[in-house]
Amino acid sequence: MTDIMIYVHIPFCDSKCFYCNFSSFVCGEDIKRQYFEKLNQEIVKNTDKNLNVTSIYIGGGTPSCVDERYIAKIIDALKTNFSVSKDAEISIEANPCSLTNEKIKSYLKCGINRISIGVQSLDNKSLKTIGRKHSKNQAIYAIKLAKQIGFKNINADLLIGIPGQTYSKLKRSAKLLLRQNITHLSAYMLINEPNTLLTRLIEKGGIKTVSEDECVTNYNKLTKYLNKHGFVRYEISNFAKDNFECKHNLGYWQLKNYLGFGVAAHSFFDGFRYENPSSINDYLKSNFEYTKNKLSEVEKIEEYLMLGLRTIYGVDITNLKMLGYDILKQKDKEINFLLKSGFLQLNNNHISVNSEHFGVLNQILLKLLP
Protein backbone atom coordinates (compact mmCIF):
# COMPACT_ATOMS: atom_id res chain seq x y z
CA MET A 1 0.00 0.00 0.00
CA THR A 2 1.08 3.57 -0.72
CA ASP A 3 1.19 5.98 2.20
CA ILE A 4 -0.72 9.20 1.70
CA MET A 5 -1.70 12.27 3.70
CA ILE A 6 -5.03 14.04 3.24
CA TYR A 7 -5.86 17.73 3.58
CA VAL A 8 -9.47 18.94 3.66
CA HIS A 9 -10.16 22.65 3.18
CA ILE A 10 -13.12 24.21 4.98
CA PRO A 11 -13.27 27.76 3.57
CA PHE A 12 -15.86 29.27 5.90
CA CYS A 13 -15.38 31.89 8.61
CA ASP A 14 -17.73 33.84 10.83
CA SER A 15 -15.80 36.98 9.85
CA LYS A 16 -12.67 37.88 7.90
CA CYS A 17 -9.61 38.76 9.98
CA PHE A 18 -7.91 42.00 8.94
CA TYR A 19 -4.65 40.27 7.89
CA CYS A 20 -6.12 37.24 6.10
CA ASN A 21 -5.62 36.57 2.39
CA PHE A 22 -6.46 32.84 2.54
CA SER A 23 -9.25 31.26 0.55
CA SER A 24 -11.99 31.85 3.12
CA PHE A 25 -15.53 33.20 2.91
CA VAL A 26 -18.41 34.35 5.10
CA CYS A 27 -21.40 32.40 3.71
CA GLY A 28 -24.91 31.31 4.63
CA GLU A 29 -26.02 27.80 5.54
CA ASP A 30 -27.24 26.96 2.03
CA ILE A 31 -23.77 27.47 0.53
CA LYS A 32 -22.23 25.46 3.35
CA ARG A 33 -24.65 22.58 2.70
CA GLN A 34 -23.86 22.61 -1.04
CA TYR A 35 -20.15 22.75 -0.31
CA PHE A 36 -20.11 19.72 1.94
CA GLU A 37 -22.18 17.75 -0.56
CA LYS A 38 -19.61 18.61 -3.24
CA LEU A 39 -16.73 17.80 -0.91
CA ASN A 40 -18.21 14.36 -0.26
CA GLN A 41 -18.55 13.80 -4.02
CA GLU A 42 -14.89 14.70 -4.54
CA ILE A 43 -13.79 12.24 -1.85
CA VAL A 44 -15.92 9.45 -3.34
CA LYS A 45 -14.57 10.14 -6.83
CA ASN A 46 -11.02 9.65 -5.58
CA THR A 47 -11.75 6.43 -3.67
CA ASP A 48 -8.69 4.22 -3.35
CA LYS A 49 -8.48 1.56 -0.64
CA ASN A 50 -4.88 0.90 -1.64
CA LEU A 51 -3.88 4.25 -0.18
CA ASN A 52 -2.86 4.08 3.48
CA VAL A 53 -3.77 7.40 5.08
CA THR A 54 -1.18 8.33 7.72
CA SER A 55 -2.59 11.75 8.57
CA ILE A 56 -5.64 13.93 7.96
CA TYR A 57 -5.65 17.70 8.41
CA ILE A 58 -8.88 19.69 8.37
CA GLY A 59 -7.96 23.33 7.84
CA GLY A 60 -9.46 26.56 6.69
CA GLY A 61 -10.94 29.02 7.00
CA THR A 62 -12.39 28.06 10.32
CA PRO A 63 -13.53 24.42 10.46
CA SER A 64 -14.99 24.96 13.93
CA CYS A 65 -17.45 27.57 12.61
CA VAL A 66 -19.53 24.92 10.80
CA ASP A 67 -21.92 22.40 12.33
CA GLU A 68 -19.95 19.51 13.83
CA ARG A 69 -22.11 17.03 11.90
CA TYR A 70 -20.51 18.21 8.65
CA ILE A 71 -17.06 17.43 10.04
CA ALA A 72 -18.14 14.00 11.31
CA LYS A 73 -19.56 13.12 7.87
CA ILE A 74 -16.33 14.11 6.13
CA ILE A 75 -14.24 11.99 8.50
CA ASP A 76 -16.63 9.09 7.91
CA ALA A 77 -16.36 9.55 4.13
CA LEU A 78 -12.57 9.48 4.32
CA LYS A 79 -12.58 6.33 6.43
CA THR A 80 -15.07 4.69 4.05
CA ASN A 81 -13.19 5.53 0.86
CA PHE A 82 -9.58 5.18 1.99
CA SER A 83 -7.63 2.92 4.34
CA VAL A 84 -7.05 5.23 7.30
CA SER A 85 -4.30 3.94 9.58
CA LYS A 86 -5.34 3.17 13.17
CA ASP A 87 -2.59 5.44 14.47
CA ALA A 88 -3.23 8.24 11.94
CA GLU A 89 -2.83 11.78 13.23
CA ILE A 90 -6.14 13.56 12.58
CA SER A 91 -6.06 17.33 13.15
CA ILE A 92 -8.63 20.10 13.03
CA GLU A 93 -8.20 23.86 13.19
CA ALA A 94 -10.51 25.80 15.50
CA ASN A 95 -11.13 29.33 16.73
CA PRO A 96 -11.84 30.07 20.40
CA CYS A 97 -15.14 31.85 19.77
CA SER A 98 -16.69 28.99 17.77
CA LEU A 99 -15.35 26.02 19.75
CA THR A 100 -18.07 24.54 21.95
CA ASN A 101 -18.45 21.62 24.32
CA GLU A 102 -20.61 19.77 21.79
CA LYS A 103 -18.16 20.29 18.93
CA ILE A 104 -15.15 19.09 20.92
CA LYS A 105 -17.00 15.94 22.00
CA SER A 106 -18.08 15.27 18.41
CA TYR A 107 -14.51 15.74 17.10
CA LEU A 108 -13.16 13.20 19.57
CA LYS A 109 -15.98 10.75 18.85
CA CYS A 110 -15.30 10.73 15.10
CA GLY A 111 -11.58 10.12 15.62
CA ILE A 112 -9.94 13.55 15.59
CA ASN A 113 -6.99 13.41 17.98
CA ARG A 114 -5.23 16.74 17.51
CA ILE A 115 -6.66 20.25 17.71
CA SER A 116 -5.01 23.48 16.59
CA ILE A 117 -6.49 26.61 18.18
CA GLY A 118 -6.04 29.99 16.50
CA VAL A 119 -5.10 32.07 19.53
CA GLN A 120 -2.74 34.53 17.73
CA SER A 121 -2.33 36.61 20.91
CA LEU A 122 -3.46 36.73 24.51
CA ASP A 123 -3.43 40.53 24.53
CA ASN A 124 -6.92 41.93 23.96
CA LYS A 125 -5.67 45.12 22.29
CA SER A 126 -3.58 43.13 19.83
CA LEU A 127 -6.54 40.85 19.04
CA LYS A 128 -8.68 43.89 18.26
CA THR A 129 -5.96 45.37 16.03
CA ILE A 130 -5.97 42.30 13.75
CA GLY A 131 -9.74 41.81 13.76
CA ARG A 132 -9.97 38.68 15.87
CA LYS A 133 -13.36 38.20 17.52
CA HIS A 134 -12.29 36.31 20.63
CA SER A 135 -10.77 37.62 23.84
CA LYS A 136 -7.84 36.42 25.93
CA ASN A 137 -10.21 34.70 28.37
CA GLN A 138 -12.14 32.95 25.58
CA ALA A 139 -8.91 31.56 24.15
CA ILE A 140 -7.72 30.22 27.50
CA TYR A 141 -11.16 28.74 28.17
CA ALA A 142 -11.19 27.00 24.77
CA ILE A 143 -7.85 25.31 25.50
CA LYS A 144 -8.95 24.27 28.98
CA LEU A 145 -12.23 22.91 27.58
CA ALA A 146 -10.45 20.86 24.90
CA LYS A 147 -8.15 19.38 27.55
CA GLN A 148 -10.97 18.71 29.98
CA ILE A 149 -13.04 16.86 27.38
CA GLY A 150 -10.13 14.68 26.33
CA PHE A 151 -7.70 16.21 23.82
CA LYS A 152 -4.11 15.37 24.71
CA ASN A 153 -2.47 16.95 21.66
CA ILE A 154 -3.20 20.68 21.48
CA ASN A 155 -1.51 23.32 19.35
CA ALA A 156 -1.87 27.07 19.78
CA ASP A 157 -0.98 29.65 17.12
CA LEU A 158 0.81 32.90 17.90
CA LEU A 159 1.45 35.84 15.57
CA ILE A 160 4.68 37.82 15.78
CA GLY A 161 4.76 41.39 14.48
CA ILE A 162 1.23 42.52 15.34
CA PRO A 163 1.25 46.35 15.30
CA GLY A 164 1.98 47.59 18.83
CA GLN A 165 3.33 44.20 19.95
CA THR A 166 6.35 44.30 22.24
CA TYR A 167 8.41 41.32 23.34
CA SER A 168 6.90 41.73 26.79
CA LYS A 169 3.40 41.22 25.35
CA LEU A 170 4.57 38.30 23.21
CA LYS A 171 6.28 36.55 26.13
CA ARG A 172 3.21 37.08 28.33
CA SER A 173 1.04 35.33 25.71
CA ALA A 174 3.49 32.44 25.43
CA LYS A 175 3.76 32.14 29.21
CA LEU A 176 -0.02 31.94 29.60
CA LEU A 177 -0.22 29.30 26.85
CA LEU A 178 2.46 27.14 28.45
CA ARG A 179 0.52 27.28 31.72
CA GLN A 180 -2.33 25.50 29.88
CA ASN A 181 0.03 22.57 29.17
CA ILE A 182 -0.26 22.75 25.40
CA THR A 183 1.95 20.27 23.52
CA HIS A 184 2.72 22.31 20.40
CA LEU A 185 3.07 25.99 19.52
CA SER A 186 3.17 27.55 16.06
CA ALA A 187 4.66 31.05 15.88
CA TYR A 188 4.20 32.86 12.57
CA MET A 189 5.53 36.20 11.40
CA LEU A 190 2.65 38.49 10.47
CA ILE A 191 2.89 39.30 6.76
CA ASN A 192 1.11 42.40 5.49
CA GLU A 193 -0.43 40.79 2.43
CA PRO A 194 -1.76 42.94 -0.45
CA ASN A 195 -5.50 43.65 -0.56
CA THR A 196 -6.10 42.96 3.13
CA LEU A 197 -7.79 45.43 5.47
CA LEU A 198 -4.73 45.53 7.75
CA THR A 199 -2.45 46.51 4.85
CA ARG A 200 -4.86 49.23 3.75
CA LEU A 201 -4.99 50.63 7.29
CA ILE A 202 -1.20 50.62 7.47
CA GLU A 203 -0.91 52.38 4.10
CA LYS A 204 -3.29 55.08 5.31
CA GLY A 205 -1.00 55.65 8.27
CA GLY A 206 -3.56 54.61 10.86
CA ILE A 207 -1.45 51.74 12.23
CA LYS A 208 2.26 51.69 12.98
CA THR A 209 4.02 48.45 12.11
CA VAL A 210 6.74 46.62 14.02
CA SER A 211 10.07 46.74 12.16
CA GLU A 212 11.46 43.57 10.62
CA ASP A 213 14.56 43.75 12.82
CA GLU A 214 12.41 43.98 15.95
CA CYS A 215 10.29 41.02 14.79
CA VAL A 216 13.41 38.90 14.26
CA THR A 217 14.79 39.91 17.66
CA ASN A 218 11.47 39.06 19.34
CA TYR A 219 11.32 35.71 17.55
CA ASN A 220 14.82 34.80 18.70
CA LYS A 221 13.97 35.74 22.29
CA LEU A 222 10.77 33.70 22.11
CA THR A 223 12.70 30.70 20.76
CA LYS A 224 15.08 30.77 23.72
CA TYR A 225 12.16 31.12 26.15
CA LEU A 226 10.31 28.16 24.63
CA ASN A 227 13.47 26.03 24.55
CA LYS A 228 13.93 26.58 28.28
CA HIS A 229 10.44 25.20 28.82
CA GLY A 230 10.88 22.00 26.82
CA PHE A 231 9.66 23.13 23.39
CA VAL A 232 12.04 22.28 20.54
CA ARG A 233 12.00 24.39 17.39
CA TYR A 234 11.81 21.50 14.94
CA GLU A 235 10.74 23.69 11.99
CA ILE A 236 11.09 27.39 11.20
CA SER A 237 7.70 28.30 12.68
CA ASN A 238 6.92 25.33 14.90
CA PHE A 239 7.82 24.24 18.43
CA ALA A 240 6.85 21.00 20.13
CA LYS A 241 7.30 18.97 23.25
CA ASP A 242 9.03 15.63 22.70
CA ASN A 243 7.00 13.34 20.37
CA PHE A 244 4.35 16.00 19.67
CA GLU A 245 5.67 17.28 16.34
CA CYS A 246 2.91 17.67 13.74
CA LYS A 247 3.29 14.55 11.58
CA HIS A 248 1.12 15.97 8.82
CA ASN A 249 3.15 19.14 8.34
CA LEU A 250 6.40 17.20 8.59
CA GLY A 251 5.10 15.16 5.66
CA TYR A 252 4.77 18.32 3.55
CA TRP A 253 8.32 19.39 4.38
CA GLN A 254 9.64 15.92 3.56
CA LEU A 255 7.89 16.04 0.15
CA LYS A 256 5.58 13.10 0.88
CA ASN A 257 2.47 12.38 -1.19
CA TYR A 258 -0.77 14.08 -0.17
CA LEU A 259 -4.28 14.60 -1.50
CA GLY A 260 -6.14 17.88 -1.04
CA PHE A 261 -9.93 18.11 -1.09
CA GLY A 262 -12.02 21.25 -1.31
CA VAL A 263 -11.80 24.72 -2.82
CA ALA A 264 -8.23 25.96 -3.43
CA ALA A 265 -6.79 22.67 -2.15
CA HIS A 266 -3.54 21.33 -3.60
CA SER A 267 -2.30 17.77 -4.02
CA PHE A 268 1.11 16.24 -4.65
CA PHE A 269 1.33 12.67 -5.94
CA ASP A 270 4.05 10.80 -7.83
CA GLY A 271 5.84 14.00 -8.84
CA PHE A 272 2.71 15.82 -10.01
CA ARG A 273 1.04 18.82 -8.37
CA TYR A 274 -2.71 19.27 -8.66
CA GLU A 275 -4.73 22.38 -7.87
CA ASN A 276 -8.45 22.82 -7.25
CA PRO A 277 -10.38 25.98 -8.28
CA SER A 278 -9.81 28.88 -5.86
CA SER A 279 -13.33 30.28 -6.35
CA ILE A 280 -16.05 28.62 -4.31
CA ASN A 281 -18.54 29.05 -7.20
CA ASP A 282 -16.11 27.43 -9.64
CA TYR A 283 -15.53 24.58 -7.21
CA LEU A 284 -19.26 23.95 -6.77
CA LYS A 285 -19.67 23.80 -10.57
CA SER A 286 -16.55 21.72 -11.21
CA ASN A 287 -16.28 18.13 -12.40
CA PHE A 288 -13.05 17.78 -10.40
CA GLU A 289 -10.82 18.34 -13.43
CA TYR A 290 -7.72 19.57 -11.64
CA THR A 291 -4.95 21.80 -12.93
CA LYS A 292 -2.01 19.41 -13.22
CA ASN A 293 1.71 20.17 -13.35
CA LYS A 294 4.64 17.75 -13.39
CA LEU A 295 7.72 18.81 -11.45
CA SER A 296 10.90 18.86 -13.49
CA GLU A 297 13.99 17.11 -12.13
CA VAL A 298 15.46 20.45 -11.08
CA GLU A 299 12.20 21.48 -9.40
CA LYS A 300 12.16 18.24 -7.41
CA ILE A 301 15.66 18.96 -6.14
CA GLU A 302 14.78 22.57 -5.31
CA GLU A 303 11.61 21.62 -3.45
CA TYR A 304 13.34 18.84 -1.54
CA LEU A 305 16.00 21.31 -0.39
CA MET A 306 13.69 24.25 0.30
CA LEU A 307 11.21 22.19 2.29
CA GLY A 308 13.59 19.79 4.02
CA LEU A 309 15.93 22.50 5.28
CA ARG A 310 13.00 24.18 7.04
CA THR A 311 13.29 21.44 9.66
CA ILE A 312 15.99 20.39 12.10
CA TYR A 313 16.02 16.98 10.37
CA GLY A 314 17.35 18.47 7.14
CA VAL A 315 17.79 16.56 3.88
CA ASP A 316 19.21 13.13 3.14
CA ILE A 317 22.28 13.33 0.88
CA THR A 318 21.46 9.90 -0.59
CA ASN A 319 17.99 11.07 -1.61
CA LEU A 320 19.53 14.10 -3.32
CA LYS A 321 21.87 11.80 -5.26
CA MET A 322 18.86 9.71 -6.34
CA LEU A 323 17.35 12.94 -7.65
CA GLY A 324 20.54 13.53 -9.64
CA TYR A 325 22.19 16.09 -7.34
CA ASP A 326 25.49 15.22 -5.66
CA ILE A 327 25.44 18.24 -3.37
CA LEU A 328 28.70 17.44 -1.54
CA LYS A 329 30.54 17.33 -4.85
CA GLN A 330 28.72 20.07 -6.74
CA LYS A 331 28.58 22.54 -3.84
CA ASP A 332 31.66 21.50 -1.88
CA LYS A 333 33.06 25.03 -1.39
CA GLU A 334 29.72 26.48 -0.29
CA ILE A 335 29.00 23.60 2.10
CA ASN A 336 32.46 23.73 3.65
CA PHE A 337 32.06 27.45 4.28
CA LEU A 338 28.56 27.01 5.78
CA LEU A 339 29.75 24.12 7.97
CA LYS A 340 32.77 26.03 9.27
CA SER A 341 30.61 29.10 9.92
CA GLY A 342 28.11 27.05 11.92
CA PHE A 343 25.18 27.64 9.58
CA LEU A 344 24.97 23.99 8.52
CA GLN A 345 25.38 20.67 10.29
CA LEU A 346 26.33 17.33 8.74
CA ASN A 347 25.29 14.24 10.68
CA ASN A 348 24.44 10.67 9.61
CA ASN A 349 24.42 11.56 5.92
CA HIS A 350 21.99 14.45 6.55
CA ILE A 351 22.56 18.15 5.99
CA SER A 352 20.55 20.45 8.23
CA VAL A 353 20.47 24.13 9.13
CA ASN A 354 21.47 25.07 12.66
CA SER A 355 18.12 26.18 14.11
CA GLU A 356 19.75 29.37 15.42
CA HIS A 357 20.14 30.41 11.78
CA PHE A 358 16.63 29.63 10.48
CA GLY A 359 16.20 33.39 10.10
CA VAL A 360 18.66 33.44 7.18
CA LEU A 361 17.47 30.23 5.52
CA ASN A 362 16.81 31.99 2.20
CA GLN A 363 20.41 33.17 2.00
CA ILE A 364 21.64 29.66 2.84
CA LEU A 365 19.42 28.14 0.16
CA LEU A 366 20.82 30.50 -2.48
CA LYS A 367 24.22 28.91 -1.91
CA LEU A 368 22.92 25.33 -2.06
CA LEU A 369 20.33 25.25 -4.84
CA PRO A 370 21.52 23.79 -8.18
Q: Is 57 helix (H, G, I), strand (E, B) or coil?
A: strand
Give the Cα separation of 15 and 290 in Å (integer). 29
Longest dimension (CA), the chain: 60
* Residues whose CB is less than 8 angstroms from the CB of residue 75 and which lie 6 or more positions away in sequence, other chains included: 56, 90, 110, 111, 112
Q: Which fold has domain 296-370?
A: Arc Repressor Mutant, subunit A (1.10.10)
pLDDT of the chain, 370 residues: tens digit per residue: 899 999 999 999 887 666 666 666 788 899 999 999 999 999 999 999 999 999 999 999 899 999 999 999 999 999 999 999 999 999 999 999 999 999 999 999 999 999 999 999 999 999 998 888 999 999 999 999 999 999 999 999 999 999 999 999 999 999 999 999 999 999 998 877 677 766 677 777 767 778 888 988 999 999 999 999 999 999 999 999 999 999 999 999 999 999 999 999 999 999 999 999 999 999 999 998 888 999 999 999 999 999 999 999 999 999 999 999 999 999 999 999 999 999 999 999 999 999 889 989 999 999 999 9
Strands of 23-172, DSSP E: 48-60, 82-94, 114-120, 154-160
Sorted by where each begins, the domain ranges of the chain are 2-253, 296-370
**pTM of the entire structure?**
0.94
Give the Cα separation of 205 and 195 in Å (integer). 16
Query: Is 192:19 a contact under the CB 8 Å cutoff?
Result: yes
In CATH, 2-253 is 3.20.20.150: no
